[in-house]
Structure 1
Amino acid sequence: MTSRRTFLVLSGLSALAAAGCGTASGSGIRNTTTLRYQGSAGAVTPPELAAALGFLDGLKLDWVGNTISGPQDIQSAASGQTDFGGAFNGAVVKLAARKAPIKAVVSYYGSDKYAYSGFYVTEKSAIRSPRDLIGKKVGMNTLGAHHEAMLDIYLKKSGLSRAEAEQVERIVIPPVNTEQSLRQRQIDVAVLGGILRDKALATGGVRKLFSDFDLRGPFSAGTLVLTERFIKQNPETVRTFVTGVGRALDWSRTTPRAEVVARMTEIVAKRKRNESPDALAFWRSYGVSAPGGRIAEQELSVWADWLTERGDITSGQVSVPDLFTNEFNTNRAKEGS
């Protein structure tokens, strides 16, 4: 796996010109039946679940390795190293601002009362309010993505100026080391989600300062993207893929949790990637509340505004309506979930 991932990284620039696997343009005919992608160790992504449930109608997924970085994942898709990737919507906007020919096609993760990322401090920490964060260290998995955006929104809503917010130090820490770093006082605040959050709470000695769900309520936070060229050359493949992923999201939301976890555990066992399925016992939700994973413009525009305020992009640099499409999602748009 390592040698293959190394090859993919080294060949990224040359692959950019050849992004997309099809040979015909806009024919309405499926040009490829295999989609290359990156997964996540010990987890089952919505596309993987869709494939296992038979929702991809014969499409096959070709796993090329794992990633813990959304920005890296969509860069791989943009350069043709993989056929699709997923990331926080702010990262999608930022990559599009760099003229990457990508388009978001379906949501794949978000925040709800079960799936959320919290900002935690030790129980005895003196940090009680946003202003207490000035001069403190916040540990998160990557910069310029979901967690940093939530921190900025929290500080801004609490009245801190940009200059004051910049005094809050953001530290990149691998997710598996974040809780330990907090307890050893190497950082003052730890961003924890999923099993890492639940294990920390079960151990005790930590308390929540705020969460993304506290800030915004339920929302879809990340989308899967493909290149515009791939979409043009493989429209029926894209339609099958997007619709299948949307069905899998709906299935996960309406099926008893125990059954979902059992199916995911079976998937991990069958793929034989030398990984532990233990984290799946803590799975609760993908956090996507929109039926079929359909994308709302506001889910991208809010991050375009955030990036503009940060100075990462200029006003009008990205046309949000052109950045996503629900055209290939045949799951019915309806109220409720």
Structure 2
Amino acid sequence: MSSSRRAVLRTLTAAASALALAAVTGCGGGAEASSDQARKLRYQGSVGQVTLPELAADLGYPGDVELDWIGNVTGGPADIQATATGQSDFGGAFNGAIVKLAAANAPITAVVSYYGSDAQTFQGYYVLDDSPVRGPRDLIGRKVGMNTLGAHAEAVLKTWLARGGLTPAEIRQVELVALPPVSTEQSLRQKQIDVAVLGGVIRDKAVASGGIRTIFTDYELLGAFSGGTYVFRDDFIRKNPDTVRAFVAGVAKAIEWARNQPRETVVGRMESIIAKRGRNEDTSLVRYWKSSGVAGTGGVISDQEFGTWIDWLAAEGELKGDKPKPGDIYTNQFNPFATGGGAG
């Protein structure tokens, strides 16, 4: 097992262990919630970007459910670990990372998709124009920079390498380097890494600057799909079902609002949100926003969006015992679009 994979598994195992010792904290809010349910939700954001819950809150969709920003995070595994251990009330990550944490017996449940890949929004694997890297075998012995290990970028890369004919031993010779998203492009241009994994607005800004080219994208490899979901702790859901329902409905409506508005309208709203929150951030990233990439209407989750990664993790030997079932990890019960609603 590679050192990067051992580090990821240690992180997820530690999260599950810490959960058993964590004090149950009831923070959060509910638009339609009874007075004894939480009304503020602690969460982590992203520098220079607007998350779907932040957009939903600005649009007023969750009603009186408020968000309580506790800081920023650069990777999904760290975000859901904070949720599992009670440091935040919800977090979001790549579905494969959620499978790992759930398999480690962390009582968390995914409730709504929040990002994905489509023809407009995707994660690409980029090299400099003069790079000799063209195909999977060219990556042997080279460095690939990505925002976090053990998540979306690593899973997609290894799927591509395996489909390209590389053996497990050869795949282990591809060195994975964790880098903050805002630093990955610079590291590529300075030749500190050979391949940069870039997504969303960060990718579009890098491409617009020129001098780089794509070797493949997750959309080309897998087609349109939702890649990550927001999770809550099970104890929080039991105590605050109306709060969770208001949150999910708000995020779901924000997905559809952004899907159906002119791009300029969405970008303008995001710029306004960044300006109002006063964190001394650069708004240039959101100007490249194109879509959330979420596949399902209102972020409704499908079995396949977890099943794909359950099968991959099992094949990688990272799931012990019986494979979990997708339906044990997520629920659509709080999403009004799951039953054809959502317009109200």
User: Fold-level match, TM-score > 0.5?
Assistant: yes
Q: 1:208 to 1:251 in 2, by over 3 A?
A: same
**Alignment partner, residue 213 of structure 1:** 219
Residue 313 (structure 1) shift: 1.5
Q: SS where residue 89 of structure 2 aligns?
A: coil
Question: Is 2:78 the counterpart of 1:75?
Answer: no
Structure-2 separation of matches of 1:34 and 1:166: 44
Residue 17 (structure 1) shift: 3.2
Match of 1:305 among 298, 308, 311: 311
Alignment-mate amino acid for residue 66 of structure 2: K
What is the TM-score normalised by the length of structure 2? Answer: 0.88
Q: 1:315 to 1:13 in 2, by over 3 A?
A: closer
Q: After superposition, give the CA deviation of every residue in 1:133-190 in whole Å (9 maximum; x if it has no partner).
A: 1111111111100100110110111222211111111111222222222222221111
Q: After superposition, give the CA deviation of every residue in 1:204-260 in whole Å (9 maximum; x if it has no partner).
A: 221100011111111100000001111111111111111111010011011111001
On the 8 A contact 1:140/1:175 being kept in 2, the answer is yes
Q: After superposition, give the CA deviation of every residue in 1:61-111 in whole Å (9 maximum; x if it has no partner).
A: 111111111111111111111110001101111111111110000000111
Match of 1:167 among 173, 177, 184: 173
RMSD: 2.0
Match of 2:193 among 187, 191, 195: 187
Question: Is 2:225 the counterpart of 1:222?
Answer: no
Quote the sequence identity (%).
54
On the 8 A contact 2:205/2:285 being kept in 1, the answer is no
**Alignment partner, residue 250 of structure 1:** 256
On the 8 A contact 1:246/1:329 being kept in 2, the answer is yes
Structure-2 separation of matches of 1:174 and 1:91: 18
**Alignment partner, residue 38 of structure 2:** 32
Q: 1:306 to 1:29 in 2, by over 3 A?
A: farther
Match of 1:66 among 64, 72, 80: 72
Structure-2 separation of matches of 1:330 and 1:257: 25
Alignment-mate amino acid for residue 216 of structure 1: L
**Alignment partner, residue 145 of structure 1:** 151
Question: Is 2:255 the counterpart of 1:233?
Answer: no
Residue 195 (structure 1) shift: 3.0
Matched ranges for 1:65-144 at <5 A: 65-144=71-150
Question: Is 2:48 the counterpart of 1:48?
Answer: no
Equivalent pairs counted in the alignment come to 320
Gapped runs of 5+ residues in structure 2? 1-14
On the 8 A contact 1:119/1:192 being kept in 2, the answer is yes
Residue 281 (structure 1) shift: 0.7
**Alignment partner, residue 203 of structure 1:** 209
Alignment-mate amino acid for residue 174 of structure 1: P
Structure-1 separation of matches of 2:52 and 2:21: 26
Q: 1:272 to 1:13 in 2, by over 3 A?
A: same
What is the TM-score normalised by the length of structure 1? Answer: 0.90
Structure-1 separation of matches of 2:143 and 2:251: 37
On the 8 A contact 2:128/2:211 being kept in 1, the answer is yes
Structure-2 separation of matches of 1:317 and 1:19: 30
Alignment-mate amino acid for residue 154 of structure 1: W
Matched ranges for 1:3-42 at <5 A: 16-21=22-27, 31-42=37-48
Q: SS where residue 331 of structure 1 aligns?
A: helix
Q: 1:157 to 1:315 in 2, by over 3 A?
A: farther
Structure-2 separation of matches of 1:269 and 1:183: 30
Residue 126 (structure 1) shift: 1.2
Structure-2 separation of matches of 1:17 and 1:196: 37
Structure-2 separation of matches of 1:38 and 1:301: 27
Structure-1 separation of matches of 2:230 and 2:329: 12
Residue 311 (structure 1) shift: 1.9
Structure-2 separation of matches of 1:51 and 1:203: 33
Q: 1:95 to 1:14 in 2, by over 3 A?
A: closer
Residue 321 (structure 1) shift: 1.1
Matched ranges for 1:269-284 at <5 A: 269-284=275-290
Q: 1:318 to 1:28 in 2, by over 3 A?
A: farther
Structure-1 separation of matches of 2:283 and 2:94: 24
Q: 1:152 to 1:30 in 2, by over 3 A?
A: farther
